[in-house]
Amino acid sequence: MTSLLIKNGFVFDPLNGVKGEKMDIAIENGKIVEKINEREAKIIDASGMIVMPGGVDIHSHIAGAKVNSGRLLRPEDHFKDVEPKTPITRSGVGYSIPSTFTTGYRYARMGYTTVMDPAMPPLKARHTHEEFNDTPIIDKAAYPLLGDCWFVLEYLKKNRIEECAAYVAWMLKATKGYAIKIVNPGGLEAWGFGRNVRNIDDPVPNFGITPREIIRGLCKVNKLLNLPHTIHVHTNNLGKPGNYINTLETMRCVEDLVENGKPAIHITHCQFSAFAGDDWRTFDSGAEAIAKYVNAHSHVTLDMGQIIFTETTTMTADGPFQFILYELSGNKWVNSDVETETSAGIVPFQYKRKSFVHAMQWSIAMELALLIQDPWKIFLTTDHPNAGPFTHYPRVISWLISRKAREKILERINRKAQRKSLVPTIDREYSLYEIAVITRAGQAKALGLKNKGHLGVGADADIAIYNLNPETLDLAQKPKTVRKAFERAAYTIKDGNITVKNGEVVSTPSGRTFWVNVEAPQAEIEISKKLQQKFGEYYTVKYENYPVPEHYLAIPASINVKAEVQ
Amino acid sequence: MPIIKLSPKYSFKVPVNAQIITPDIFQGKTPEEIAKLQVWEGNRSKELGELFKISENGNDALETLVIEISGDLKKVRRIGAKMSIGEIVIHGDVGMHLGEEMEGGKITVNGNAESWMGAMMRGGIIEVKGNTGNYVASAYRGSTKGMRGGKIIIHGNAGNDVGNAMLGGVIKIFGNVGQFVGVNMHDGTIMIRGDCQGRMGAEMRGGKIVICGHVKSVLPSFTIEALRKRVKVEGEPIEGPFYLFLGDLNAGGNGKLFISKNANQHLSFYEKFL
């Protein structure tokens, strides 16, 4: 295992500017190195294949209390997608909410090696990490939901940014979290009282603070703490016609906080936040306006949230939105309120080709990906499992790479949506280099993961090799071949171990769990005294029992950052 | 087309998963090839020939393949799963999941059938001369898509949860049934000649349930609509009179529940609401 040499592959490594050149990659002790002794190394012949860094997923609900409730809610999701055990892998089930082991195997089969769970209620952190411990192969991390936490709202109301920063630092440490996740800021708190916020300037009941103040406050906190990722925002009014105006406002509201043109905000599953029109009948795409804004500004990154026409399970922390979805679909549902922190909802959902709204949603996500010129600003996700299971990523790649594949889908969707869609007017086809950006390099860069998403010396040896020959194959004409290649990686190498060979899992090492350890000792001690008093008032658990200890994580990997707060 | 005859070589102690016993899979195969097909007996993989005696009778008069199975098949599950053509005739009792997700063809059981018969079926006919277990033509747990089409005829009694989440098709039961007939159904017809133990049509949104025998009570979320002289099932009139209830109002439904007046004199108080 100690040394590996990948020979003659077409290497795509956007962070180091490598665009499909033939070169060798040497690996020693789980890291990429300059040179190794060829005679001692195991050699992988990758001639005629493409070599990319292991895939990175910035937003995918794979673990935690919500995901598990979804599994319980949907036995019918499982019985048709069963994976029997093999001498190497455990048995498990799919489809839209796969069991933990299956999640790890399926990501690895597609060449993905790092996955972020974007919605961890802080109180359920233990559960999330328990599931992480049982998710093999991939590295993972979770973003605690902090946008509606009472403590945060109170600090921000009094404009105590530094104290809020100390609290967030403590929270990241206590939950072993990675980034600040904000879901429908203010709306989840209002949902606890059966209400919602209407727009970015609508005050939150009982707190008198607006979503704008929450987003700006946490953006400042994020900067003070020097966190590797930006704030990760799920906008207000998600899933409602006309919400793209709100999304533009959200992106605009942190414009003045930007330093050196660095990203300051990540708008997640942007497709759901790019709806135009007044109601479902006049529903339209707001993708063009958003793409225009993003093209002109450098402080925003987005991910797609591409719709897949299939039956899936929607699950978000956005309780009020899930209630609307339940009323629309009449399906079974789960909704819950997590004490003072957040809410959550789950509704099974089927995206249909012939539905006008669903077809438009498909088109919106495609428009976003195709109209935003800079691939470093938009990432490929399906907001697994909300818009579709992650196993459909190869399909999305084939749509981006091939106009022909898009036209084939367009032929089969709702007529009215066909007429309204901008997709037929766009000629752009992604190159493999751009695909490498939106599926790994860009996401790793946005996440601030220094050793992921590239193949430079010193990077983690997470590598995906796909059986595609860009020299002999016209990719745009062969979307099916592209999809098949990305569905079953020829090799997935994780930390120097070959984990997948020809689409089959051959070894299952455990992956790391990243968490951000902010060094801000002084402020933290002060805050923890105040916290202890308030904990008794607000929580059903004791302050001492709340934090997740590091030994609880199977393979913890802390990322130390130095905060500007003291 | 030939008749393929199967009979168990010994009495099975553990469940046998035999979804390969369908005309679709047997078609075009010799008995030797059929004997090589794989089945699971408990957790062991076996060949069909190890479990069953297999023989073939040529009969040119038959248009489709017929599989005739005789013997005790109580432990044999999933016979006729996903079949779309041909015919299966079973002499004896048969195990769970008979005709699961069946699409066409015909299954006849000269005996009893266990639970989950015709689960999520889409077409074809199942006829049972004896009794059946629970969940006839039901959706599997959690699913909202039950029987979509086809026809089930049961000459004996059936258990609980007949036609759960049914979306279409016809179920005719000439005996009695347990509780929860047509729960969550959206469309289709269920006719019961005998008695029903109650809670018919909970959360139904559409479709038709006809009960000719006795019921204890009707769910409070149903409202009486009319008194009808007769009701038609597949175009064939059944003489009443019947009380017609609409519901389930809890689910905003518009399902029709016909209950015989003569067998249910204790429901006559509903008449004052007409």
Please indicate if any CB of chain B lies within 8 Å of the CB of A77. Answer: yes
Is the CB of B141 less than 8 angstroms away from the CB of A77? no
Is the CB of A75 less than 8 angstroms away from the CB of B139? no
CA atoms of A17 and A218, how far apart (whole Å): 33
Residue range A309-313: average pLDDT? 95
Q: Greater confidence, B247 or B124? A: B124
Calculate what percentage of chain A has a pLDDT beyond 90.
87
Calculate what percentage of chain A has a pLDDT beyond 70.
98
- Would you say residue B60 has pLDDT above 80? no
Residue range A158-186: average pLDDT? 93
pLDDT digits (tens, 9 = 90+) for A27-61: 999 999 998 888 889 999 999 999 999 999 999 99
pLDDT for A563: 84
Residue range B183-192: average pLDDT? 95
pLDDT for A523: 65
Residues 451-510 of A with CB under 8 A from B: none
What is the token pair recorded at A113? 């090696």
pLDDT for B240: 83
Within a domain: B42: no
Query: How does residue B2 score in pLDDT terms, banded at 50, 70 and 90?
Result: confident
For A75, name the nearest residue in chain B, comparing CA atoms only. Answer: B142
Alpha-carbon separation of residue A340 from A138, A162, A168, A189, A411 (angstroms): 32, 21, 15, 8, 48
Residue range B241-267: average pLDDT? 93
Please indicate if any CB of chain A lies within 8 Å of the CB of B144. Answer: yes
> What is the pLDDT of chain B when averaged over all its residues?
94
pLDDT for A525: 67
Size of interface A-B (CB pairs under 8 A): 16
pLDDT digits (tens, 9 = 90+) for A373-388: 999 999 999 999 999 9
Residues 295-354 of A with CB under 8 A from B: 331-332
Chain A residues near residue B144 by CB distance under 8 angstroms: 76, 331-332
Within a domain: B22: no
Query: DSSP states of A354-415 as a string?
Result: T-HHHHHHHHHHHHHHHH---GGGEE---TTTTSS-GGGHHHHHHHHH-HHHHHHHHHHS-H
pTM (2 d.p.): 0.92
Alpha-carbon separation of residue A273 from A233, A269, A284, A348, A475 (angstroms): 11, 7, 12, 20, 31
- Would you say residue A407 has pLDDT above 80? yes
Q: Are strands A231-234 and A181-183 parallel, antiparallel or unpaired?
A: parallel
> What is the pLDDT of chain A when averaged over all its residues?
93
Residue range A382-399: average pLDDT? 96
Chain A residues near residue B143 by CB distance under 8 angstroms: 75-76
Length of chain B as a residue count:
274
Within a domain: B80: no
Residue range A548-555: average pLDDT? 94
pLDDT digits (tens, 9 = 90+) for A262-288: 899 999 999 999 999 999 999 999 999
Question: What amino acid occupies position B95?
Answer: G
Within a domain: B85: no
Chain B residues near residue A327 by CB distance under 8 angstroms: none
What are the beta bridge partners of residue A511? none
Is the CB of B144 less than 8 angstroms away from the CB of A74? no
Please indicate if any CB of chain A lies within 8 Å of the CB of B45. Answer: no
pLDDT digits (tens, 9 = 90+) for A481-525: 999 999 999 999 999 999 999 999 999 999 999 999 998 766 666
- Would you say residue A566 has pLDDT above 70? no
Chain B residues near residue A331 by CB distance under 8 angstroms: 144
Please indicate if any CB of chain A lies within 8 Å of the CB of B272. Answer: no
pLDDT for A40: 87
Shortest Cα–Cα distance, A74 to chain B (Å): 6
Please indicate if any CB of chain B lies within 8 Å of the CB of A526. Answer: no
Within a domain: B134: yes
Q: Which residues lie closer than 8 Å to B58 by C-beta, 6 or more apart?
A: B2, B3
Residue A95: is the preceding peptide bond cis (ω within 30°)?
yes
pLDDT for A524: 66
Q: Are strands A284-285 and A275-276 parallel, antiparallel or unpaired?
A: antiparallel
- Would you say residue A1 has pLDDT above 60? no
Number of structural domains chain B divides into: 1
pLDDT digits (tens, 9 = 90+) for B63-110: 889 999 999 999 999 999 999 999 999 999 999 999 999 999 999 999
Alpha-carbon separation of residue A264 from A116, A143, A201 (angstroms): 19, 16, 20
- Would you say residue A480 has pLDDT above 60? yes
- Would you say residue A565 has pLDDT above 70? no
Alpha-carbon separation of residue B42 from A382, A511, B69, B194 (angstroms): 40, 36, 20, 37
Please indicate if any CB of chain A lies within 8 Å of the CB of B141. Answer: yes
Q: DSSP letter for A419, please.
A: H
Residue range B113-117: average pLDDT? 96
Within a domain: B147: yes
Within a domain: B217: yes
Within a domain: B136: yes
Q: In degrees rounded to 5, what are phi and psi of residue B17?
A: -95, 105
Is the CB of B142 less than 8 angstroms away from the CB of A75? yes
Residue range B140-162: average pLDDT? 94
pLDDT for A522: 65
Task: Give the residue numbers spanning the domain of B267.
Answer: 115-273
H helices within A176-286, ranges in order? 187-191, 211-224, 244-252
CA atoms of A267 and A230, how far apart (whole Å): 10
pLDDT for B1: 78
